[in-house]
Every structure is written in C-alpha cells, then in structure tokens.
C-alpha cells in the first residue's frame, strides 16, 4: 500500500497524540464485570418437601455444570393456607423463608454456595432470591 496520508489526517493524528486524555482500556473493564451463567426455578405450588428436594437437586446439578447463579422464585407467601392453621408457624412453612433456611442448614450445599441474597425486582423481588455458586474444584 502506497497511499499518501492527507494533511487533515496528519493534523488529526497530531492533535490526538498531543492530548493528555487516556483512552479506557476495554480489556480491563471487561475483567471487572461479572458474567453469570444463570438457571432459574419457580417453586410456586410446591410442598415444602418437594421444594427442598428440588432445590437440593438443582444446586448439586448446577454446581457440576459450572452454573454460577441461580434464581429461585418462591413467591411471597401471600396465598399460603398456613395462616388458617394455628399449629403451623406462619413464616416457617412459607417457602420464602423455609427454603433458604433449609439451604443454610445443609452443610454439603453450603460448601458449594458463595452467597445467598434477595432478588432484584425484575427477577421476582421479595418473592425470589439469588444463589451464587462457587466454582467447581
């Protein structure tokens, strides 16, 4: 290629290299961002036993598949029939409270989990939570 560089291009280049501004390094920015491979489960309509078994299976399988974020939709417990039974704890048997409690008490599951936290509104808000899984060793 023997194309000549125009005077305008030369001026633009000189102006560019004389500036003190730094260009952002896109490679460094990319490393800071977290990329999640996500799976989700909706536990609406599950019994407590079914929900606990399903969530245990999901965590184990997802950890093996190197999935690192789970969205668990439990619902808010607003339509639960537990409030009618005076012998059942109002909060404990609602999946919203009991599923995270089941996970936290299961030592083998907790070895695979780095964090459990509430979900953003677009993922279910108060009726859902996130499980962040550790990398498989």
CATH number belonging to domain 35-133: 3.30.1370.110
In the Cβ-directed half-sphere of 61, how many Cα atoms lie within 13 Å?
Answer: 11
Please list, in sequence order, all residues whose beta carbon lies within 8 angstroms of the beta carbon of residue 98, skipping any fewer than 6 positions away: 48, 51, 52, 92
Whole-number pLDDT of residue 101: 92
Residue 75's nearest CA partner among 27, 43, 41 is 43
Cα separation, 112 vs 110, in Å, equals: 5
Q: Give the separation between CA 6 and CA 2, rounded to whole angstroms.
A: 12
**Could you tell me the pTM of the whole model?**
0.66
Share of the chain above pLDDT 90, in %: 39
Instruction: Enumerate residue ranges in the chain where pLDDT < 70.
Output: 1-2, 22-34, 77-93
């Amino acid at each position: 290629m023997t194309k000549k560089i125009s005077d305008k291009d030369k001026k633009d280049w000189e102006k560019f290299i004389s500036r003190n501004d730094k260009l952002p390094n896109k490679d460094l920015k990319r490393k800071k961002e977290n990329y999640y491979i996500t799976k989700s489960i909706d536990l609406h309509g599950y019994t407590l036993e079914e929900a606990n078994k399903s969530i245990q299976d999901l965590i184990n399988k997802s950890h093996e598949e190197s999935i690192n974020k789970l969205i668990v939709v439990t619902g808010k417990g607003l339509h639960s029939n537990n409030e009618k039974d005076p012998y059942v704890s109002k909060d404990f048997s609602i999946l919203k409270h009991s599923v995270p409690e089941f996970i936290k008490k299961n030592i083998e599951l907790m070895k695979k989990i780095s964090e459990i936290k509430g979900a953003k509104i677009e993922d279910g808000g108060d009726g859902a939570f996130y499980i962040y899984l550790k990398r498989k060793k």
